[in-house]
Amino acid sequence: MTTANLAAKQPHELLLLLGSAVSVLLSLVLFGIQWSQGIANSELSAATMAVVLNVVLGAALWVSASITRKNLMNGAIVAGVVSFVLIVFGGQVGTIGGLIGLLGAILAAATPYLPWSQRH
């Protein structure tokens, strides 16, 4: 993404994209660190499931940011649900990304009512 693309985005979109990136990238980095140190066979299934869950839900959070461009309230609802699932099931990484996404979802839902909003 170029700087011009980022400058054209609304604040709620940026929060949703940030929550998505945190959830995906941080889970992949932490899994890579665990992998390099050696993961016991008993922990491999749980670690792999956590990475897959965070990557899939992070991608869904990314998609919800693009949904908000077409329909603000539908995107906010999708982002809120995905963020909540990330918080509950995503572990520590999912909690961080989910909280950022939840802030983005709340901001997206409140955008039509804010005085500085350009959407009417």
Is 10 a residue whose pLDDT tops 60? Answer: yes
CB 50 within 8 A of CB 90: yes
Question: pTM for this structure?
Answer: 0.87
pLDDT tens, position by position, 27-36: 999 999 999 9
Is 97 a residue whose pLDDT tops 70? Answer: yes
Domain boundaries, the chain: 12-111
Is 2 a residue whose pLDDT tops 90? Answer: no
Q: Using CA atoms, how far apart are residues 56 and 20, in angstroms rounded to an integer?
A: 10
Structure tokens at 92: 């520590």
pLDDT tens, position by position, 36-78: 998 888 888 989 999 999 999 999 999 999 999 999 999 999 9
CB 75 within 8 A of CB 67: yes
Gap between the terminal Cα atoms of the chain = 28
* Distance from the Cα of residue 24 to its chain's centroid: 8
CB 61 within 8 A of CB 86: yes
Of the candidates 104, 8, 117, the residue with the CA atom closest to the CA atom of residue 63: 104
CB 97 within 8 A of CB 86: yes
